[in-house]
Amino acid sequence: MNAQTLQVTEDEEGMRLDRWFKRRLPTLSLSHLNKIVRTGQVRVDGARVKPAVRLAAGQKVRVPPLELVPPPTKRAVPDAVSEADRRALQDMILFEDRDLIVLNKPFGLAVQGGSGTLHHIDGMLASLANAEGERPVLVHRLDRDTSGVLLVAKTRRIAADLGEIFRSRQAQKIYWALVEGVPKPAQGRISLFLAKGEGMGDARSPGQHARKDHAQLEKMRIAQHGDEDARHSVTYYTIVDKIAPRLAWLSMKPITGRTHQLRAHAEAIGHPIIGDPKYSGAAKDPRKHDPLRMIPDGVERKLHLLARRLILPHPRGGTLDVTAPLPPHMQASFDMFGFDVKQYDPIDAAPE
C-alpha cells in the first residue's frame, strides 16, 4: 500500500484521529497506529498530530504505507456480553436489508466511546460481525441523549457509498424537539458560525451520573466568520404545535451536520430544547441559573430531541425513508400536552 491522502467527511467531524483510523482501516493495530503517529508519518493538513486530536470536516489526513493485520478467517463465538449486545441491537432495528441497518437509538446510549464511556453502539456492533469477521460500520452519529434514527452500513463499501450521499447533502434529516417558549417567526432559517467553546464541567441533570467523556464537556459557541475553527451551520425549523407561551413542538431540518448543531441553534434563538442542561444559558452564570427552570411540572428532565426521520437515496437504487417513534419520555410529554404525532409536519414545505 502506498502513502495516500484521505479527506475527513462531514459525518466524521469531531472524531478522534485514532477512532477515525479504526473506522477507515479496522485491521490496523493500535500499536502500529501509535508508532506512525509518534514518528510523524501521519499528518493532518500537513501538521504532526496526536492520536487524540479531533478532526474537522474537509481536513486531509496523510496515511503512510501500513502494516495491516489480516482479518480473522471465521467469526469468534459470541460471549455473554456480545450476545446481550446482539439482542439489544436487534430490538432497536427499524429497518434492515442486505446492505444496511437503521436503528432506533435510545436516550442515554452513546454512539461512540470516549474517556469513561465503555458501553456504546459502535462497540455493540461487533456482536453483528459476519462469518468473515466484517462488522457493521456507523455512517453518522447522534449525541448520547438524542434518540432516534441511526444509520449503519453492513460493509465498508456500502459505508463509503452512504458517506458520499451524506457528504453531497442528498440525505434529508428531520428532527423533532420540544423547546422553551414559542419562536417567532413560526418558520425560519438559522444560519450561524459555530466553533468549539469551553467545557462546562459536570453538566448533568439531577439524578444522572457524572459523564466524563470529552463530548459531554465540549460545548459549541456562536462564532464569527473568520474565527479560528468557525464553521458555517444552517438549520430550517417550523412550529408544528404549541402551548403558548410556555413551549413549542418544532420540526427541524439541519442542512449542515455540525457538533450539537440543533441544540446550539435552539439556544441561539432564545428557545433552548427542554431538558438540555448544556445549551440553556447555564454557561453564562452557572451559579445563578437553573438550566431546567422552564420545564413544566410532570415533564421528565431529559433532552427532548428526536432524530425523527431519515430520507436518502439507497446505494442500490430507490429511496430509503425511515421514521423513528417518540422515546418514552417524549411520548409522555406529547400525551401531557395533547400533541398528535399524526399531525401534518410542515417542515417538508420549508425552502432550502
Q: Domain 4-63's class?
A: alpha beta
- Identify whether the C-beta of residue 55 lies closer than 8 Å to the C-beta of residue 13: yes
pLDDT tens column, 124-149? 999 998 877 788 999 999 999 999 99
pLDDT tens column, 273-308? 999 989 986 544 444 444 445 566 789 999 999 999
User: In the predicted model, what is the mean pLDDT of residues 208-226?
Assistant: 64
83-87, 205-209, 213-217 — which is least confidently predicted? Answer: 205-209
Q: What is the pLDDT of the chain when averaged over all its residues?
A: 85
Q: What percent of the chain has pLDDT over 90?
A: 57
Q: What is the dihedral of CA 96, 102, 103, 107, to 10 degrees?
A: -160
- Identify whether the C-beta of residue 151 lies closer than 8 Å to the C-beta of residue 100: yes
Q: Domain 173-349's class?
A: alpha beta
Asked whether this chain's domains 80-169 and 173-349 adopt the same fold, the reply is yes
Q: What is the pTM of this model?
A: 0.75
User: In the predicted model, what is the mean pLDDT of residues 23-29?
Assistant: 81
> Dihedrals φ, ψ of 103, to 5°?
-100, 155
SS3 per residue for 201-264: CCCCCCCCCCCCCHHHHCCEEEECCCCCCCEEEEEEEEEEEEECCCEEEEEEEECCCCCCHHHH
Domain boundaries, given as residue ranges, for the chain: 4-63, 80-169, 173-349
Which residues share a beta bridge with 82?
Answer: none
The domain defined by 80-169 folds into Pseudouridine synthase (3.30.2350)
d(CA 245, CA 28): 55
Residues carrying an active site annotation: 143
d(CA 194, CA 57): 13
